[in-house]
Amino acid sequence: MLFGFGSNSQGVLGTGDDQDRSCPDRVLDLSSVRCLLCSGVHCLATTLEGRVFAWGSNEFRQVCVEDAEVKSVATATEIRFPCPIKIIATSIWHCLAISDHDQVWSWGWGQHGQLGYKSAIQPTPKLVPIEGFSFKAAACGWKHSLVMTQEGKLLGWGSNKNGVLGPKDRVVAEVPSLVALPFNVSSIACGMNHSVCLSCDGQVFAFGDNKFGQLGRSVEEVRCSFEPVAVMESKTFVAIACGWNHCLALEENGMVWGWGKNDLGQLGPGTKQPYLAPRRMIVDVPCKKIFCGSESCIVETFEGCYLSWGWNEHHNINPSSALHVMTPSPLDERIKEIVAVGGASVFCTLKE
């Protein structure tokens, strides 16, 4: 049974209404959910059988309701595919799905080529012209898409204005092509206008826009980069996560590091200025999982406690009236597992 709290704008929690929740409330009747993703305005979920459901904003047909007058759908709606889906990815306005046969489908907003073909708005899933690869993961930014192969190679498409697709000579790459990285990757994540990847030997690299220090460098040093920038070469990491303009990385010893935009306290106290270099987060104990909302962070400690900080306008961190929570705050102690975080919405299971 799934529960949710925080922002319910456009029905993103799937409760059938648009009222925010300050405490975990039952939100979905779906059973056997394998993966749930939240963009902040809509959600995608896959079941163990490979079925796909969506709800929330339909402004760019993210829920695949073709009627343009239907701007949002507050309950889970199935998106039909001819075969089971194993991987999903989503940004605010477009979505990806990868089948068990490694076919890649996309739909939603595509004005900048992020769908992998020419279409301003694609109301239903359409095949992306990619063949000959076996896929392991996918991620979506605001105007770009990335997929990772089983061998650790990256393919990307969409807007490359700030180098968010890495070393490519085109401003818009409408046709998917390999990202020329000098290493293989084990994990990928996308912010709005930047990309982050974890190499197979535990190094973090970032490329794309650096307006808020998303690449872990000062703006004066790097405004944007089409080449992967090593974020912290002296550390070994096991996980990465991206908000809109900030990043987290989990070190192998459980320490959490962050960099990027900090205007709403998403990287902790002391300043609202961007963190232009990675800084250890103010968590006193080792952690085993990290999550980013659009402008907030959640970590899970090895004791099973969840701590969060950042933007709290929708009570996605705690029920207080504080707009920003600047230091790690315990989430509801009934939470058993965080399932998905996106925008200012959180999905979880509860302890029995």
pLDDT of residue 175: 87
Cα–Cα nearest to 196, from 215, 182, 224, 183: 215
Q: Is the pLDDT of residue 148 over 70?
A: yes
Q: Give the list of residues 6+ apart from residue 12 with CB closer than 8 angstroms, or none.
A: 38, 40, 41, 42, 43, 55, 56, 57, 342, 343, 345
pLDDT of residue 173: 84
The 3-state DSSP class for residue 11 equals helix
In this prediction, residue 326 has a pLDDT band, given cuts at 50, 70 and 90, of confident
Mean residue pLDDT across the chain: 94
Comparing 82-86, 264-268, 336-340, the range with the smallest average pLDDT is 264-268
User: 324-330 and 306-311: which strand pairing?
Assistant: antiparallel
Q: Which residue has the higher pLDDT, 271 or 116?
A: 116
pLDDT tens track for 98-135: 999 999 999 999 999 999 999 999 999 999 999 999 99
Q: Is the pLDDT of residue 169 over 70?
A: no
- Give the separation between CA 140 and CA 91, rounded to whole angstroms: 5
- Mean pLDDT on 269-285: 86
In this prediction, residue 320 has a pLDDT band, given cuts at 50, 70 and 90, of confident
pLDDT tens track for 194-242: 999 999 999 999 999 999 999 999 988 899 999 999 998 889 999 999 9
Q: What one-character DSSP code corresponds to residue 192?
A: S
pLDDT tens track for 20-48: 999 999 987 777 899 999 999 999 999 99
At 267, which amino acid appears? L
pLDDT of residue 290: 98
pLDDT of residue 160: 92
Other C-beta atoms closer than 10 Å to the C-beta of 181 total: 18
pLDDT tens track for 59-91: 999 999 999 999 999 989 999 999 999 999 999
The 3-state DSSP class for residue 349 equals strand
In this prediction, residue 352 has a pLDDT band, given cuts at 50, 70 and 90, of confident
Say if residues 339 and 348 touch (Cβ distance below 8 Å): yes
Say if residues 259 and 214 touch (Cβ distance below 8 Å): yes
